[in-house]
Every structure is written in structure tokens, then in C-alpha cells.
């Protein structure tokens, strides 16, 4: 099964992740996370499958995150509310997100990424 690779082409971390997928000839479809921001429903599914807290899907180092004071907004937010905020702007989403439909990874730590996706 092909992977789905949500990324932002100007992001160095995303480029590094893409390079690993390409080096290992891994079949994937790429989705520009800003031009085709995942819907609230897709994000809820990714959050659930990842097993991670919804907060881990926020790009906390991003300018938009700070400008919009998202840290304050999500303090007491439900998972649904967080997914809605994430779906409002792709720049708020931590990237890359990779999924095979069952497993989901968020962000990029090279060793973990290679172990999860390149070892298959």
C-alpha cells in the first residue's frame, strides 16, 4: 500500500523525509499540507490512528502558532476543537505526517522515520 505524505515543500525537515522515502523507492502520494489542508475529519482520523495527543499535531515552532496565540486557545480545547483549529490553516500542522492508513507518524526524527517507513 502506498503511503500518504503530507508535507510543505519549503520545509527542510519535509525534504529530508522525502529524500529517505525516495532513496528506498517507497511508493507514496504527496499532499501539499497548505494547499490541500486536511479536513477536520481526516485530522481526527490521523490523531486517533497515531495514538498521540492532539497537541502533538501542532507546529509549535511556527510563526502562525505564535501569532495566533494557539497555545492559549488549545489549553482547554477538546480533540474536536483542536482538529478544527488545525484544519483552518495547514501552517499550524506539524509536518511531515506520513500514514499507510493504519500507522501515522508526525514530525521527523530520522532514526524513527527510517525504522518506521524505510524498513518495510
Q: Give 61-112 pLDDT, tens digit per residue.
A: 999 999 999 999 999 999 999 999 999 999 999 999 999 999 999 999 999 9
Full DSSP string of the chain: --EEEEE-TT-HHHHHHHHHHHHTT--EEEEETTTTPPPHHHHHHHHHHHTS-GGGGB-TTSHHHHHTTHHHHTTT--HHHHHHHHHT-GGGB-S-EEESSS-EEES--HHHHIIIIIT-
Note the pLDDT tens digit of each residue in 10-52.
Answer: 999 999 999 999 999 999 999 999 999 999 999 999 999 999 9
Tell me the domains of the chain and their CATH numbers: 3-118 (3.40.30.10)
pLDDT exceeds 90 at position 119? no
Model pTM?
A: 0.94
Amino acid at each position: 500500500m502506498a503511503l500518504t505524505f503530507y508535507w510543505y515543500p519549503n520545509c527542510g525537515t519535509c525534504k529530508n523525509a522525502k529524500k529517505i522515502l525516495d532513496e528506498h523507492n517507497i511508493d507514496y502520494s504527496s499532499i501539499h499540507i497548505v494547499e490541500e489542508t486536511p479536513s477536520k475529519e481526516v485530522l481526527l482520523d490521523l490523531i486517533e490512528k497515531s495514538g498521540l495527543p492532539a497537541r502533538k499535531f501542532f507546529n509549535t515552532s511556527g510563526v502562525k502558532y505564535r501569532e495566533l496565540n494557539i497555545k492559549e486557545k488549545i489549553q482547554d480545547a477538546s480533540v474536536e476543537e483542536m482538529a478544527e483549529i488545525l484544519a483552518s490553516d495547514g501552517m499550524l500542522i506539524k509536518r511531515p505526517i506520513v500514514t499507510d492508513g493504519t500507522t501515522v507518524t508526525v514530525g521527523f526524527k530520522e532514526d524513527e522515520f527510517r525504522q518506521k517507513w524505510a524498513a518495510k
